[in-house]
Structure 1
Amino acid sequence: QEGSHRLPSSQCMVVLLGSTSVGKSSLAYRYVKNDFRDSLPTVGCSFFTQMLNLEVASIKFEIWDTAGQEKYHSVCHLYYRGAHAALLVYDITNKETFNRAKLWLRDLEKEFLPDEILIALVGNKTDLAGEREVATEEGEEFARTKGLLFMETSAKSSHQVNDTFMAIAQELLQREREEASHHGLLTADLEESRTGTRCC
């Protein structure tokens, strides 16, 4: 099928990026299995799939959970090349992980054109709000200036985990619709210029 990389051909590759122990694996596990697992650091990359059925399309998420450790940083490039969306995950109780998320964003900006990939900034571990080092407003403001989706989640309590993936799916479908209608207009314009007029 032509344009199989595009949505809503139902396949959506999402890559999770961020420092080690911010909860990337736990987020993926919570979304796919609806369970919490305080997991050991990911080695290289792990992979999950999950179907999301919307009224307009069924989307099969392919979720690539990358390792946060520095030694795997260069390997992660291999995983996000074909991605439709990226989640930049940080831990709201650790300011350094927020700064690292900004560095990941810089990497993505080098790799992709602005409209080529949808990026969401995700502050995880809202269940530890008492230890918060990154204010919600700070995350929101950074996301707004960079044109990113923004969400705060807790893999542990399940807070907004499903909402995050739903928001990504809806935004991607919206972009797809806009692109399709844009192409439709172009086609109509070409037809008009070819026939000289649309009217009989």
Structure 2
Amino acid sequence: FFSGIEALRTTMASSKKKPSISNALEMKVVLVGAVAVGKTSIVARFTKNTFGYQDTTIGASYMAKDIEINTRRIRFSIWDTAGQEQYHSLVPMYFRQSAAVILVYDITRRQTFTETKEWVEEIRKNAPEDVIIALTGNKCDLEEQREVDAKDVEEFAAEIGAFHIETSAKTAAGIKDLFDILGNKFLSKKNLPGPSGMRLNGSTGASGSGCKCG
């Protein structure tokens, strides 16, 4: 456990040394969720367009990627936190000064959705009041194994002021949409325009029938 904390501190220190892009708007994004829901795989798919076996995260890991949305460059500074219970007490520190939290669950395991509800109170206590919350159901390529009804998630998302989307890190379904929506919501909070036609307030991805994974 202590070695995990040291690794956590080292990761935080090293991230501070990363050069910033002068004309990029930095957006801090934190991923939280149960073990093996695919948090690290989502980050790997978004930042490197890869998918494969991922070691269990110890403490937290940091990745960054710059994208352009309607001529505005956004630097996503992404903190991927560990799902193991022994690290839960460390996770709230990452919520501070975050622009968005991605709450990840596995659509094939109902309990992982239940656990996302437990994080909402911590987010409210530690994150900025206007933090963007993305309730993200991963592994939507496994529709035949679904245990989580998307309608239930939509209702919960409405209750907490979040948006809901389903993704598959394996097939890449929904991954680009997830970060595009986050970026556009971030720009809208700064009174900066997003691309025309992007739905900033609605949910994206799954409805009751699940997401379209190919």
Query: TM-score higher than 0.5 here?
Result: yes
Q: Structure 1 or 2: larger helix share?
A: 1
Q: How many residues align?
A: 170
Among 169, 176, 193, the alignment partner of 2:190 is 176
2:107 is aligned, of 78, 81, 92, to 92
Q: Secondary structure at the match of 1:65?
A: strand
Q: Distance in 1 between matches of 2:25 and 2:129?
A: 22
Query: Deviation of residue 106 (structure 1)?
Result: 1.5
Equivalent in 68, 76, 101 of residue 116 of structure 2: 101
For 1:84 and 1:122, the matched residues in 2 are separated by: 16
Is structure 2 residue 87 aligned with structure 1 residue 82? no
1:176-196: CA deviation from partner (whole Å, max 9, x where unpaired): 108xxxxxxxxxxxxxxxxxx
1:54 is aligned with what amino acid? I
Q: State TM-score, norm by structure 1.
A: 0.81
Alpha-carbon contact 2:99-2:128 (below 8 Å) kept: no
Match of 2:47? 32
1:81 Cα deviation from its structure 2 partner: 1.3
8 A contact 2:98–2:127 mirrored in 1: no
Identity of aligned residues (%): 39
Of 50, 62, 83, the residue aligned with 1:47 is 62
Distance in 2 (CA, whole Å) between partners of 1:44 and 1:76 is 8
Distance 1:161 1:38 in 2: 18
For 2:83, the aligned partner's letter is G
Shift of 1:57: 1.1
Instruction: For structure 2, list consecutive stretches of 5 or more residues without a partner in the other structure.
Output: 1-22, 193-214
Deviation at 1:76, TM superposition (A): 1.1
Q: How does 1:50-199 map to 2 (within 5 A)?
A: 50-115=65-130, 117-177=131-191
- What is the CA–CA distance in structure 1 between the aligned matches of 2:61 and 2:52, rounded to whole Å? 14
Shift of 1:49: 0.5
Q: TM-score when scaled to structure 2?
A: 0.76
Please state if 1:21 is matched with 2:36: yes
Q: Give the structure 1 partner of residue 15 of structure 2.
A: none
Q: Any runs of at least 4 consecutive aligned residues in structure 1 with deviations exceeding 2 A, and if so which? A: none
- State the one-letter code of the partner of 2:61: S
Distance in 2, Cα, partners of 1:65 & 1:48: 8
Cα distance in structure 1, aligned partners of 2:92 and 2:126: 9
Residues 169-178 or 159-168, more deviating? 169-178
Q: How many angstroms apart in 1 are the aligned matches of 2:27 and 2:127? A: 16
**TM-aligned CA deviation for residue 78 of structure 1:** 2.1
Q: Which structure is larger by alpha-carbon Rg, 1 or 2? A: 1
State how far apart, in whole Å, the 2-side matches of 1:85 and 1:172 are. Answer: 8
Cα distance in 2 for partners of 1:45, 1:63 equals: 10
Instruction: Provide the aligned C-alpha RMSD in A.
Output: 1.4
In structure 1, what is the Cα distance between the partners aligned to 2:27 and 2:133? Answer: 13
